Chains A and B, each alone.
Chain A
Amino acid sequence: MAQDSAISAVTGADLYKTPAANITNTLYGRLPGLTVLQGSGEPGYDGAAMITRGVGTYDNNNLIIYVDGFQVTAHYFQYLSPSEIASISVLKDAAALATFGMRGANGVLWVVTKRGQQSKPTIQFQVRSGIQQAINIDKPLGSYDYARLYNQAVSNDNYAVNGHQYLWSPKYSDAQLAAYKNGTGINVDWFDEVLKKNTPYTDANLIFSGGDSTAKYGVILDYMKDQGLYNVSNGASTSNAQIQRFNLRSNLDFNFFKIFEAKVDLGGRIEDRRYPNISGPALWSNLASYPSNIYNVKDASGNWSGTTIFPNNPVASVRALGWASTHDRTLQANFNLKEKFDFITPGLYLNEAVSFNTWTRNAASKAATYARFYNGTQTTTDKTTDIVASGTSPAGQYDWKQANLTAGYDHTFGVHAFSAGVNYFASNYIEDWNGDLNGSGYNTGNNINHHYTNLSGHVHYVFDKRYVAAFGFGYSGSDNFAPGHNKGFYPAVSAAWILSNEKFLQQNPVINLLKLRASVGKTGNEASNVGRYLYQQYYVSNGTFYTGNNSFTGNNGIAPPYIANPRIFAEHSVKYDVGVDADLFHKLNITADVYMDKRGGIITYDNNTYLATLGTSSMYRNVGKVTNKGLEMSVDFNDKIGRFGYNIGGMASYSKNRIDYQAEVKPVNDFSKTTGLAIGTSMGLVADGFYQMSDFNADGTLKAGLPVPAFGAVQPGDMKYKDLDKSGYIDQNDVTKIGNPAYPSLYYSFHAGVSYAGFDFQVFFQGAAGGDYNLIGSSAQTIAFINNANAYSIANGAWAYYPDQGIDTRNTATYPRLGTQANTNNYRNSTFWMKKNNFLRVRNIELGYSLPEIVLNKLHLSRCRIFVSATNPVTWSSLLKNYNLDPETPSGYPALKSYTSGLSLSFK
Chain B
Amino acid sequence: MRLNIYLSILVALASSCSKDFLDTRIDTSQTDETIASNYTTLFSFGNAPYVYMRDGLITLDGNLFAAATDEAEQTAPSSLSMFFNQGSWNATTNPDNYYSSYYAGIRAANYFLERSAAYKTILGTSRDTISASEKINYHNDVQNIAWFRGEAHMLRAWYYFELCKRYGGVPLVTKVLSTSDNTNLPAAPYDSIISFIVSEVDTYKDSVQLNWKTSSFSNYDGRFTKGAALAVKARALLYAASPLHNPGGDITKWQKAAEAVHDVIALGQYSLDANYRTYFLLNNAVNSKETIYAIREPASNLEETLNYPIATSGGRSGVTPSQNLVADYEYTGAPDPANPYANRDPRLGYSVVTNGSTWNGRTINIATGGTDDMANTNSSKTGYYLKKFLNDGLNLIQGQTVVHTWVVFRYGEILLEYSEAMNEAYGPDNDNGYGLTARAAINMVRGRTGVNMPAVTTTTDFSAAVKHERRIELAFEDHRYWDLIRWKDAAVALNAPLQGVHSDYTVFNVENRVFDASKMYYYPFPQSEISKSGGVLKQNPNW
Binding site for B on A (CB under 8 A): 154, 157-158, 161, 308, 344-345, 348, 350, 381, 405, 407, 409, 422, 424, 426, 428, 442-445, 447, 449-453, 455, 477-479, 483, 486, 533, 536-540, 542-550, 552-559, 563, 607-616, 618-619, 665-668, 701, 708, 710-713, 729, 731-733, 820-825
In-complex Cβ contact of A665 among B7, B100, B222, B532 (8 A): B532
B296 with A552: CB separation less than 8 A: yes
A450 with B24: CB separation less than 8 A: yes
Closest-by-CB residue of A relative to B398 is A381
A contact residues around B2 at 8 Å (CB): 344-345, 348
Q: Mark B49-93, 1 if CB is under 8 A from A, else 0.
A: 111110000000000000000000000111000110010111111
Beyond A547-B222, A701-B512, A823-B77, whether A424 also contacts B30 by CB under 8 A is no
A554 with B30: CB separation less than 8 A: no
Closest-by-CB residue of B relative to A711 is B78
Nearest 8 Cβ contacts at the A-B interface? A615-B107, A557-B48, A543-B51, A547-B222, A710-B88, A546-B296, A449-B24, A612-B100
Q: How far is the CA of A553 from the CA of B221 in the complex (A)?
A: 10
Interface footprint category on B: 35 or more
Any A CB within 8 A of the CB of B41: yes
A547 with B220: CB separation less than 8 A: yes
Q: How far is the CA of A665 from the CA of B527 in the complex (A)?
A: 9
A455 with B11: CB separation less than 8 A: yes
Closest-by-CB residue of B relative to A611 is B183
Closest-by-CB residue of A relative to B374 is A161
Q: How far is the CA of A550 from the CA of B49 in the complex (A)?
A: 23
In-complex Cβ contact of A556 among B10, B44, B177, B512 (8 A): B44
Any A CB within 8 A of the CB of B517: no
Q: How far is the CA of A823 from the CA of B111 in the complex (A)?
A: 43
Q: List 8 extra interface pairs beyond A158-B375, A615-B173, A668-B92, CB under 8 A.
A: A451-B22, A538-B29, A557-B47, A559-B111, A608-B532, A615-B110, A712-B82, A733-B92
A545 with B295: CB separation less than 8 A: yes
Q: How far is the CA of A91 from the CA of B526 in the complex (A)?
A: 47
B contact residues around A539 at 8 Å (CB): 29-31, 35, 41
A contact residues around B185 at 8 Å (CB): 611, 613
Q: How far is the CA of A157 from the CA of B77 in the complex (A)?
A: 10
Any A CB within 8 A of the CB of B32: yes
B contact residues around A668 at 8 Å (CB): 91-92, 527, 531
A453 with B30: CB separation less than 8 A: no
B48 with A542: CB separation less than 8 A: yes
Contact stretch, chosen from B12-20, B231-239, B445-453, B462-470: B12-20
Min Cβ gap A414→B in Å is 20
A-B contact pairs, 26 of them (CB 8 A): A426-B21, A447-B26, A449-B26, A453-B21, A533-B25, A539-B31, A545-B47, A545-B222, A547-B221, A549-B219, A552-B298, A556-B47, A558-B44, A559-B108, A611-B171, A615-B177, A668-B91, A668-B527, A710-B86, A710-B93, A729-B88, A731-B93, A733-B92, A822-B76, A822-B77, A824-B78
Within 8 A of A (CB), among B170-213: 171, 173, 176-179, 183-185, 213
B28 with A442: CB separation less than 8 A: yes
B contact residues around A666 at 8 Å (CB): 531-532
Q: How far is the CA of A308 from the CA of B123 in the complex (A)?
A: 54
A615 with B86: CB separation less than 8 A: no
A contact residues around B107 at 8 Å (CB): 559, 614-616
Closest-by-CB residue of A relative to B512 is A701
Any A CB within 8 A of the CB of B283: yes
Min Cβ gap A26→B in Å is 36
A contact residues around B52 at 8 Å (CB): 543
In-complex Cβ contact of A548 among B14, B296, B397 (8 A): B296
Any A CB within 8 A of the CB of B252: no
A538 with B30: CB separation less than 8 A: yes
B377 with A546: CB separation less than 8 A: no
Any A CB within 8 A of the CB of B250: no
Min Cβ gap A805→B in Å is 20
Any A CB within 8 A of the CB of B461: no
A contact residues around B532 at 8 Å (CB): 607-611, 665-666
Min Cβ gap A471→B in Å is 15
B contact residues around A547 at 8 Å (CB): 219-223, 296
Beyond A556-B44, A614-B107, A823-B77, whether A537 also contacts B296 by CB under 8 A is no
Binding site for A on B (CB under 8 A): 1-3, 6-7, 10-11, 13-14, 17-19, 21-32, 35, 41, 44-53, 76-78, 82-83, 86, 88-93, 99-100, 103-108, 110-111, 171, 173, 176-179, 183-185, 213, 218-223, 283, 286-287, 295-298, 374-375, 377-378, 397-398, 403, 512, 526-529, 531-533, 537
Closest-by-CB residue of A relative to B212 is A547
B contact residues around A350 at 8 Å (CB): 6
A contact residues around B512 at 8 Å (CB): 701
B contact residues around A549 at 8 Å (CB): 213, 218-219, 221, 283, 286-287
Beyond A344-B2, A477-B22, whether A424 also contacts B10 by CB under 8 A is yes
Q: How far is the CA of A618 from the CA of B107 in the complex (A)?
A: 13
Closest-by-CB residue of A relative to B45 is A558
A contact residues around B13 at 8 Å (CB): 405, 424
Closest-by-CB residue of A relative to B109 is A615
In-complex Cβ contact of B22 among A443, A486, A552, A556 (8 A): A486
B contact residues around A543 at 8 Å (CB): 51-52
Q: How far is the CA of A897 from the CA of B100 in the complex (A)?
A: 52
Min Cβ gap A484→B in Å is 10
Closest-by-CB residue of A relative to B79 is A712
A contact residues around B526 at 8 Å (CB): 612
In-complex Cβ contact of B183 among A553, A610, A822 (8 A): A610
A731 with B92: CB separation less than 8 A: yes
Q: How far is the CA of A477 from the CA of B25 in the complex (A)?
A: 14
B contact residues around A618 at 8 Å (CB): 179
Min Cβ gap B383→A in Å is 13
B contact residues around A550 at 8 Å (CB): 283, 287
A contact residues around B297 at 8 Å (CB): 546
Q: Which of A344, A483, A558 has the most CB of B within 10 A?
A: A558
Q: How far is the CA of A545 from the CA of B223 in the complex (A)?
A: 9
Q: How far is the CA of A64 from the CA of B504 in the complex (A)?
A: 73
B contact residues around A422 at 8 Å (CB): 6-7, 10
In-complex Cβ contact of B184 among A381, A545, A611 (8 A): A611
Q: How far is the CA of A547 from the CA of B43 in the complex (A)?
A: 14
Min Cβ gap A132→B in Å is 43
Min Cβ gap A876→B in Å is 39
Min Cβ gap A401→B in Å is 12
Q: How far is the CA of A359 from the CA of B47 in the complex (A)?
A: 44
A557 with B50: CB separation less than 8 A: yes
Q: How far is the CA of A450 from the CA of B92 in the complex (A)?
A: 42
Closest-by-CB residue of B relative to A549 is B286
A558 with B221: CB separation less than 8 A: no
A557 with B90: CB separation less than 8 A: no
A611 with B377: CB separation less than 8 A: no
Q: How far is the CA of A614 from the CA of B185 in the complex (A)?
A: 10
A445 with B403: CB separation less than 8 A: no
B177 with A479: CB separation less than 8 A: no
A552 with B28: CB separation less than 8 A: no
A contact residues around B3 at 8 Å (CB): 348, 407, 409
B contact residues around A344 at 8 Å (CB): 2
Q: How far is the CA of A540 from the CA of B51 in the complex (A)?
A: 13
Q: How far is the CA of A422 from the CA of B4 in the complex (A)?
A: 11
Closest-by-CB residue of B relative to A619 is B179
B177 with A455: CB separation less than 8 A: no
Beyond A483-B23, A549-B213, A557-B44, whether A616 also contacts B104 by CB under 8 A is yes
B contact residues around A821 at 8 Å (CB): 77-78, 377-378
B527 with A713: CB separation less than 8 A: no
B contact residues around A733 at 8 Å (CB): 90, 92
Q: Which of A556, A616, A822 has the most CB of B within 10 A?
A: A616
Q: How far is the CA of A409 from the CA of B45 in the complex (A)?
A: 61
B10 with A479: CB separation less than 8 A: no
Min Cβ gap B171→A in Å is 5
B10 with A542: CB separation less than 8 A: no
Q: How far is the CA of A559 from the CA of B46 in the complex (A)?
A: 10
